Amino acid sequence: MLKKVDASQLKVGMYIHDLSCDWMAHPFVRNRFEIVSDAEIRKIVGAGIREVVIDAARGLDVADAPTLREAQAALEKEVVHIATAPARPLKTALGQEMQQAVRIRNQAAGLVRNVMADARLGKAIEIGGVQPVVQNITESILRNPGALLGLLRIKTKDDYTFLHSVSVCALLVAFCHSRGMDDDLIREAGLGALLHDTGKALVPDAILNKPGPLTDAEFDIIRKHPEDGYNILRQSPEVGQIALDITRHHHERRDGTGYPDKLAGDAISELAQMAAIVDVYDAITADRCYHKGMPAAAALRKMYEWSKFHFDPQLVQQFMRCVGIYPVGTLVLLESGRLGVVVEPHESNLLSPKVNVFFSTRTNVYIKPEMVDLARGLGFGGADKIVGHEDPLRWNVDPMRFLVL
């Protein structure tokens, strides 16, 4: 039986089923293993991991701990409560914005690639070429955030580093706009987000693209990139304090377990905290060399759990409302037994988005795609309901093919 336990309850002889953390942040070769020493427990706690899932059938139990199913049910109730806030109305339909989003994604990824190359050669970063790209990203987000954000969920191992930076920029810009921040502040935040991983230019490719778990020494090298990026960017006078702060502190955590400065609580600026949230969200939803990214809806729920320790819970809730409880591109199962991909959030109910249905789980075959507005009743293109989010691998489908009719 799987149970959710506090890290303080761990004992030698327990079997870890899931470390329940950002997989890039923990120092273990495997995510599932039996605890054989107190040193391993200290390592778990030292990595800032506060809760884990144990398998009581394979190791020692904690009698009064909730089962994983009970913990997930309680979490879902809280998530449903969060979903009541209204979404921002869209200016442009998804299909209309998609073509521009493709151009902007390619332009931005190419620019980040060039910035990394210049940083590797010791050249100063030319900010003049970066600002127009941030502006293009911002304008696309204002027209229809789902187009660019949905498109940026598709990454390959060869372009991950560059597209991750573009994703973090787009997500942070959307997050800032959803909170009603000033336009000048948003531009500075977008600049910092696009350049936040510049320090990775100094990380050897063999470590950055290693097709397997990192050693402790390799983790130490990776953890230097925020400070390295900060030192690179401050050589360019056009880079302001907001961008420098985001670059240096996007791996800090509110409980003080982050890096490089181990800041805690409100010592971390609000924008750096927001950047940390979107950085982790994009990282854990992406496929990497040896790790399968989790579905966006599942990632949001994980981050909500982690917000008790690592993030500001209010900011995480606001981010969830920004991208939607079921973000654009999410594969969902409906009560009718059909699978669909979320194409547009509803303006007042994040649990009832527009969905393009394309697959029947009852007959296990593709069906003619149909746009369903879950906020509408029978006879008006609706009369269905989301049961939950699904992993595309389970059904061997690619929901992104059906993002636009």
Residue 312 DSSP SS3: coil
- Which phi and psi (to 5°) does residue 209 adopt? -115, 25
Residue 381: which region, alpha, beta or left (left: phi > 0; alpha: psi -120 to 50)? left
The answer to whether 300 and 325 are in contact (CB under 8 A) is: yes
Name residues whose C-beta falls within 8 Å of residue 81's C-beta, 6 or more positions apart in sequence: none
pLDDT at position 213 is: 77
Q: Is the peptide bond before 260 cis (omega within 30 degrees of 0)?
A: yes
Q: How far, in Å, CA of 171 to CA of 175, rounded? A: 6
Report the side by side order of strands in the sheet with 33-34: 2-6, 51-55, 15-18, 33-34
CA angle 238, 262, 317 (to 5 degrees): 80
Q: How far, in Å, CA of 2 to CA of 68, rounded? A: 5
Give the count of alpha carbons within 13 A of 399, CB side only: 28
pLDDT at position 380 is: 46
Pair of tokens at residue 392: 């595309």
DSSP string, 170-227: HHHHHHHHHTT--HHHHHHHHHHHHTTTGGGGGS-HHHHT-SSPPPHHHHHHHTTHHH
Which stretch of DSSP H or E encloses residue 313? helix 313-323
Place of tokens 């409100």: 266
Place of tokens 């200016």: 91
Which stretch of DSSP H or E encloses residue 112? helix 94-120
User: Letter for the amino acid at 8?
Assistant: S
pLDDT at position 166 is: 96
CA quadruple 254, 256, 257, 260: dihedral, nearest 10: 100
pLDDT at position 291 is: 72
Cα 382 → chain centroid: 29
pLDDT at position 403 is: 85
CA dist list (Å): 98 to 44, 112, 340: 43, 21, 19
pLDDT at position 378 is: 57
Q: How far, in Å, CA of 138 to CA of 257, rounded? A: 32
Q: How far, in Å, CA of 343 to CA of 319, rounded? A: 18
Q: How far, in Å, CA of 46 to CA of 44, rounded? A: 5
The answer to whether 352 and 374 are in contact (CB under 8 A) is: yes
User: Letter for the amino acid at 370?
Assistant: E
Name residues whose C-beta falls within 8 Å of residue 109's C-beta, 6 or more positions apart in sequence: 159, 162, 163, 166
Q: How far, in Å, CA of 185 to CA of 167, rounded? A: 18
Q: How far, in Å, CA of 307 to CA of 201, rounded? A: 30
Which stretch of DSSP H or E encloses residue 55? strand 51-55
Residue 293: which region, alpha, beta or left (left: phi > 0; alpha: psi -120 to 50)? beta
**Within the chain, which residues score under 70 in pLDDT?**
22-27, 29, 83-90, 289-290, 377-382, 405
